[in-house]
Structure 1
Amino acid sequence: MDPASRSAGARGGPRDRPSLRERAADLTELMDDPQCDPVALDRTYARFGLVNRLVSGWRGVYRTRIRPLARHVRSSTGSPLSILDIGFGGGDLPLALAHWARKDGIDLTITGIDPDERAFAFASRRRVPPGVAFRREGSADLVSRGERYDLVISNHVLHHLDSSALDNVLHDSAVLARHLVIHNDIERGRIAYAGYQVGITPIAPGSFLRTDGLRSIRRSYTAPELARVVPTGWRVEQHAPFRVLAVFDAHPTEATPSSPGRTPA
Structure 2
Amino acid sequence: MEEMDRPDCDPVRLTRTYARFPVVNSLLSGWRRTYEHRIRPLMSGSDPVTLLDVGCGSGDVARSLARWAQRDGLRLEITAIDPDPRAYDFARHAPHVAGVTYRRAHSSQLVSENRTFDVVISNHILHHLDAGQLAGVLRDSELLSRRLVLHNDLVRSNISYLLFMAGFWPLGLGSYICGDGLVSIKRSYTRPELRAAVPGNWTVEANGPWHSLLVYEAREIYGNRHVPGAGQEGEDA
So what's the TM-score if we normalise by structure 1? 0.81
Matches of 2:71 and 2:219, distance apart in 1: 27
AA of the residue aligned to 2:90: F
Which residue number corresponds to residue 123 of structure 1?
91
How far is the alpha carbon of 1:108 from its aligned partner?
0.4
Query: Which string of whole-angstrom CA distances, capped at 9 and with x for unpartnered residues, describes residues 40-80 of structure 1?
Result: 00100000000000000111000101100113xx6xxx521
Which residue number corresponds to residue 102 of structure 1?
70
Matches of 2:97 and 2:178, distance apart in 1: 30
AA of the residue aligned to 1:106: L
Could you say what secondary structure the match of 1:231 adopts? coil
Residue 50 in structure 1 maps to residue 23 in structure 2: yes
Which residue number corresponds to residue 38 of structure 1?
11
Matches of 1:218 and 1:244, distance apart in 2: 14
Which residue number corresponds to residue 116 of structure 2?
148
How far is the alpha carbon of 1:139 from its aligned partner?
0.3
Which residue number corresponds to residue 222 of structure 1?
190
Query: Which string of whole-angstrom CA distances, capped at 9 and with x for unpartnered residues, describes residues 97-127 of structure 1?
Result: 0111111111100000000000011111112
2:39 equivalent among 48, 66, 78:
66
Which residue number corresponds to residue 148 of structure 2?
180
So what's the TM-score if we normalise by structure 2? 0.91
Percent identity, please: 50
Matches of 1:138 and 1:79, distance apart in 2: 27
Which residue number corresponds to residue 235 of structure 1?
203
Structure 2, unaligned runs of 5 or more: 221-235
Which residue number corresponds to residue 90 of structure 1?
58
Work out which structure has the larger RCO, using CA pairs closer than 8 Å and 6 or more positions apart in sequence: 1
How far is the alpha carbon of 1:201 from its aligned partner?
1.6
AA of the residue aligned to 2:181: G
AA of the residue aligned to 1:53: S
AA of the residue aligned to 1:46: A
Over the aligned positions, Cα root-mean-square deviation in angstroms equals 1.3
How far is the alpha carbon of 1:219 from its aligned partner?
0.3
| Count of equivalent residues | 221
CA contact (8 A) 1:149 1:176 kept: yes
